[in-house]
Structure 1
Amino acid sequence: MADDENACVRNIVKEIMRECKSKKIQINKNFITYFTKLLLINPNWGIGDDFFSQRQNVQTFVSYITEELLNNADHPKLVTLKIQFSYTCNLEHMDYFIQGNRKELKWRLRSLEDDIVRMNNVEEKELVDSLYKKIVYYITFVTGLGNPAKSKVYEESMVALKSIFDEDEVRQFSTLTKHEKIEQLDHFSKVVGGIRLFNKDCDKGGEGIANLPALVTEANMIIKEGTEQILLFIMEKVNELTTIVDRSYVLWPVYHNFYRMRLANKDELTKLDLDIEHLKDFLIFYRQYELITRKVLEEFDRIYERIEVIKASMRKLMKIIHETVYMKLAIPVGVVFPLFEQLWEIWTQFQDLAHLLSRISVILSNTEACVRQMEYQQVAIDNIIGNVPPMTDAERLQRNSHVELSSDKEGVTVLKSESIKNIEFVKFEYLGFCCWKLVETNGALIPGNPMMGIVVYQGKNYVFSCPEGFHEFLKDPQMCINGVLDLVRKKPHLIGFFQLKEELESIYNITKLVETKEEIKMCEDRGIQTDSNQEEPHIDPKYMWNIWDLKRQALTLANISAAQTSSTQTNKTGSKNSVRTQTYYTKTVEVQTKKDSYTNVPRPSVFIYGLRGRKDDQQFKIDLTRPVEEK
């Protein structure tokens, strides 16, 4: 089943990339695969394992993605997906990146390593010197301790190598097998690297070796400070957008104890050329940006802790090495070489952290570039906010902090935040956003307030931003949860934000998660008032106020309507009127009916060129249809 799904995704991605190429859309193929998999979680696309029998649905799907990439490349929802993809591929797989960096260094030195390995049975001094020089260059490049093209760096590396590998041993080295030579090179690199680091610590060398621990510490601090400034900028946008969206939707009491959310300032938003759906997508983007930035800051803290641990390990090992070699003319190889190898392994951890910080810096720069591409209507947003400063998340928590929630429904319990130790480590569903408002507003991220109470349902924790939302959730919790899942299906950039991919895949066979209910039409009393003194005062003398007078008049009019007036004429009438009538003879009229006719159309004939004998997919049609006149 998984292979069939992967084959289906590959075929769809191949078609999308072909369409993008024809429309000159430059996009990463891996991102298209990521986007396609998120969209296919929604079963309403009608695309299953049978790719070819659902051709029409596939074409609709491909057309949708192509149009999104062409027309909405800078839309917040698509940029949100891009930064999610970048974070997933980079920050969540840093160990893989570090291993890949080491493999890339080995690959770049592969030609030099092959030259060393291919030199067999070397006897002449010129060839021996050439092989020894190549080994020195290889070790210096692999360790990353300076540039061997500089004479001082080369001399230090050569002296360190001679202390463990004499030139006379080169001839014996050339007789080894390929696998043995590679193992020897790896061993020499570690020992020589450790020796050069020890010499630097003793102030007897260290040419070309940077003070990597200090540089990594300083780089971590500088990048962290820049990231904190980015977070402040993000929170300004988050507070602005959350304030606008929260003010735009108001509670609407449909009937007793039944509430909905309604957009209240639609005219004001339209006047300022603002789209509430666009603002909600912007809010999702900046919340995702905030989440990633906070995780990056946590990564900086972990890097700092690792740096301190590595520094302590290096100082401890240096002390052991100094004690081992102090005042000794000869030391057993089995004693000191493992220490040098351990020292080199510790140093490689500093190198890995340096590459890691460089990678994080590139990711943050690329994300900032994506932010600058989007059109953020700052002037219109400032106008709608007005002079009242945007409300922060902390201020929003204080708004309903005095409210206490309680539940008498079986299966739903409410815990007080004061009764929970280390509440900052409690995992809230939907990242602590109010799920009821999320559904009612079609995607508005309004933070819940745990100070009102933490609602526990089926072992999961939920928080709400208002007591009305909690009471609506209490009526049917599962319907509210299904409403969130249905919303996330329609908004794929929320799947990665809420981490709901596995849950959505588990309910893939359920096409309809929420049953739509018709709104009940209720009667209500309304009062109106007209303008006074529109006409001059007038007293009707026939006005009757008694209802029985009106009934009596109605009966009289009813009797009159049932009466009949008739007249007769006698022979003694003085004059008689003659009445004349005129008739018309029937007239014959002719009409014309439709006439049968025919047309002759040419017979279509099309030849598809390139179906056989070609290795690419460049086929095209040749029209062989001939006009009717030639037949």
Structure 2
Amino acid sequence: MSHSQAESVIRNIIREIGQECAMKGQTVSETLVAFMVKAVVLDPKNEFNVDRTLTKNDVQKLIKLCVGRLLDTANPSLDTIKMQVYFDMNYTNRVELLNEQHRILEARLAPVSREITDYRARTREELESLYRKIVSYVLLRSGLGSPTDIKVVREATAALQSVFPQTELGVFLSLNKKDKERQLKELTMIVTGIRLFNKECGKGGEGIDDLPAILNEAIPAATQPIDAELHASQDLAYRYTAILEIMQESPQRNVEPRTSMLKEALFNVRQHEVFLCIILSDVITCAQEIEMMDKQFAAQIEQLKNTVQAKTAVPTSQVFVSM
């Protein structure tokens, strides 16, 4: 069976399971059904051979097992599958989240950047308009202050003028599109650096939030409830484990159904614990990254202060080492 044929069979199985559940009054998403199919197929006790093509009997057996589990709302295993589906569909790790934020930022800035790089200014008014657009771009890319706040705009304009006076627009306009885009990004970093430095010196920083302070409050606020929930899950898991051990040693008959249900509940709690650990680990990593960046920022500001001191002008080679 080809890959496309296999996918078609799986889609048909998922659709049929969904239809059967709907006929019995239970609406289920295709994603949940797909997760359930995978769980049932991979469960050794169901005796599916994943290395061979499913027979007609296999398909019917698979559908029956999946429908049964999806309709068994009293069984913790269904909640476990739902939890896995929800986490898989909604939780994004740090790297993916940052990449997504970068993609969103670039998408939002694309029309602004294009408007600047495609601009054909000739008159004085058009050049002034272009310069204002560059200031807005710098503010939007940096995310430090609103381009509609006049005080923020004035501060950003002054910072931009110190490194890129309006008289240099002619040179900028002569660049090709890629070089213009590169220069816009460089100007953003430089202007942002100037504004942050001025803020640290108590001479500016209009509209710039104290992010380190905000994050230092946000991290514990995020960590504490997760940690509390994690301890509660672990405590419940220990209790379930202890009860299971007692039941397995019990001479009473007919404990197997209750033991099976309790095992499913234990798996559910353990799965919850795993997801909480993933989230908590990401939060802790964020806290460590923030602490490291805070120290790096403080060191760079101190170095800049030592370089600039009371000078009214400093060569860019000393301040912007990478240029």
Q: TM-score range by the shorter chain?
A: 0.7 to 0.9
Contact 2:36–2:81 (CA under 8 A) maintained in structure 1: yes
Does 2:289 correspond to 1:306? yes
Does 2:261 correspond to 1:278? yes
Q: Partner residue of 2:212?
A: 213
Q: Partner residue of 2:307?
A: 324
Once the two structures are overlaid, the 10-residue window that deviates more, 174-183 or 209-218, is: 174-183
Gapped runs of 5+ residues in structure 1? 252-261, 342-631
Q: Partner residue of 1:165?
A: 164
Does 2:131 correspond to 1:132? yes
Partner AA of 1:316 in structure 2: A
Contact 1:13–1:36 (CA under 8 A) maintained in structure 2: no
TM-score, length basis structure 1:
0.45
Larger strand percent = 1
- Pairs aligned (count): 317
Report the CA distance between 1:20 and its aligned residue. 3.5
Q: Partner residue of 1:16?
A: 14
Report the CA distance between 1:34 and its aligned residue. 5.0
Report the CA distance between 1:193 and its aligned residue. 1.4
Q: What is the CA–CA distance in structure 2 between the aligned matches of 1:18 and 1:111, rounded to whole Å?
A: 45
* Residue pairs, 1:35-434, within 5 angstroms: 35-41=36-42, 44-46=47-49, 48=51, 50=53, 54-55=55-56, 57-58=58-59, 60-62=61-63, 64-65=65-66, 68-69=69-70, 71-72=71-72, 75-84=75-84, 93-120=93-120, 122-250=121-249, 264=252, 266=254, 275-338=258-321
Partner AA of 1:314 in structure 2: F
Q: What is the CA–CA distance in structure 1 between the aligned matches of 2:271 and 2:194, rounded to whole Å?
A: 47
Report the CA distance between 1:11 and its aligned residue. 5.0
Cα deviation 1:37-69 (Å, max 9, x = unaligned): 454446833565657xx4553454355445544
Distance of aligned partners of 1:106 and 1:243 in 2 relative to their CA distance in 1, 3 Å threshold: same
Secondary structure of 1:331's match?
A: coil
Report the CA distance between 1:276 and its aligned residue. 3.4
Distance of aligned partners of 1:50 and 1:63 in 2 relative to their CA distance in 1, 3 Å threshold: same
Distance of aligned partners of 1:331 and 1:108 in 2 relative to their CA distance in 1, 3 Å threshold: same
Q: What is the CA–CA distance in structure 2 between the aligned matches of 1:173 and 1:316, rounded to whole Å?
A: 33
Partner AA of 1:100 in structure 2: E
Distance of aligned partners of 1:59 and 1:123 in 2 relative to their CA distance in 1, 3 Å threshold: farther
Secondary structure of 2:163's match?
A: coil
Report the CA distance between 1:123 and its aligned residue. 0.9
Q: What is the CA–CA distance in structure 2 between the aligned matches of 1:130 and 1:28, rounded to whole Å?
A: 52
Report the CA distance between 1:292 and its aligned residue. 3.1
Q: What is the CA–CA distance in structure 2 between the aligned matches of 1:189 and 1:278, rounded to whole Å?
A: 59
- Percent sequence identity is 26
Report the CA distance between 1:19 and its aligned residue. 5.6
Report the CA distance between 1:103 and its aligned residue. 1.1
Contact 2:18–2:33 (CA under 8 A) maintained in structure 1: no
Partner AA of 1:335 in structure 2: Q
Report the CA distance between 1:28 and its aligned residue. 6.3
Contact 2:17–2:33 (CA under 8 A) maintained in structure 1: no
Contact 1:112–1:138 (CA under 8 A) maintained in structure 2: yes
Q: What is the CA–CA distance in structure 1 between the aligned matches of 2:16 and 2:149, rounded to whole Å?
A: 50
Q: What is the CA–CA distance in structure 2 between the aligned matches of 1:7 and 1:106, rounded to whole Å?
A: 39
Q: What is the CA–CA distance in structure 1 between the aligned matches of 2:263 and 2:174, rounded to whole Å?
A: 70
Q: What is the CA–CA distance in structure 2 between the aligned matches of 1:163 and 1:195, rounded to whole Å?
A: 9
Cα deviation 1:375-428 (Å, max 9, x = unaligned): xxxxxxxxxxxxxxxxxxxxxxxxxxxxxxxxxxxxxxxxxxxxxxxxxxxxxx
Distance of aligned partners of 1:152 and 1:80 in 2 relative to their CA distance in 1, 3 Å threshold: same
Cα deviation 1:130-172 (Å, max 9, x = unaligned): 2222222222121110221121122222222222222222233
Contact 2:14–2:30 (CA under 8 A) maintained in structure 1: no
Distance of aligned partners of 1:18 and 1:139 in 2 relative to their CA distance in 1, 3 Å threshold: farther
Q: What is the CA–CA distance in structure 1 between the aligned matches of 2:246 and 2:41, rounded to whole Å?
A: 34
Q: What is the CA–CA distance in structure 2 between the aligned matches of 1:149 and 1:10, rounded to whole Å?
A: 53
Contact 1:16–1:65 (CA under 8 A) maintained in structure 2: no
Report the CA distance between 1:86 and its aligned residue. 5.4
Report the CA distance between 1:306 and its aligned residue. 2.7
Distance of aligned partners of 1:311 and 1:28 in 2 relative to their CA distance in 1, 3 Å threshold: farther
Q: What is the CA–CA distance in structure 2 between the aligned matches of 1:316 and 1:82, rounded to whole Å?
A: 47
* Residue pairs, 1:447-526, within 5 angstroms: none
Q: What is the CA–CA distance in structure 1 between the aligned matches of 2:279 and 2:286, rounded to whole Å?
A: 10
Cα deviation 1:193-216 (Å, max 9, x = unaligned): 111111110111112211111211
Q: Partner residue of 2:29?
A: 27
Q: What is the CA–CA distance in structure 1 between the aligned matches of 2:130 and 2:141, rounded to whole Å?
A: 16
Secondary structure of 2:299's match?
A: helix
Q: What is the CA–CA distance in structure 1 between the aligned matches of 2:12 and 2:108, rounded to whole Å?
A: 32
Report the CA distance between 1:316 and its aligned residue. 1.0
Distance of aligned partners of 1:123 and 1:82 in 2 relative to their CA distance in 1, 3 Å threshold: same
Partner AA of 2:157 in structure 1: M
Q: What is the CA–CA distance in structure 2 between the aligned matches of 1:325 and 1:152, rounded to whole Å?
A: 25
Partner AA of 1:224 in structure 2: T
Cα deviation 1:236-295 (Å, max 9, x = unaligned): 4223322322221117xxxxxxxxxx6x3747x9xxxx9432222111111222233344
Secondary structure of 2:320's match?
A: helix
Distance of aligned partners of 1:236 and 1:114 in 2 relative to their CA distance in 1, 3 Å threshold: same
Supply the RMSD in Å over aligned alpha carbons. 3.4
* Higher relative contact order structure (alpha carbons within 8 Å, sequence separation ≥ 6): 2
Partner AA of 1:45 in structure 2: F
Gapped runs of 5+ residues in structure 2? none
Distance of aligned partners of 1:193 and 1:237 in 2 relative to their CA distance in 1, 3 Å threshold: same
Larger helix percent = 2
Cα deviation 1:530-585 (Å, max 9, x = unaligned): xxxxxxxxxxxxxxxxxxxxxxxxxxxxxxxxxxxxxxxxxxxxxxxxxxxxxxxx
Distance of aligned partners of 1:200 and 1:246 in 2 relative to their CA distance in 1, 3 Å threshold: same
Structure with the greater alpha carbon radius of gyration: 1
Secondary structure of 2:249's match?
A: strand
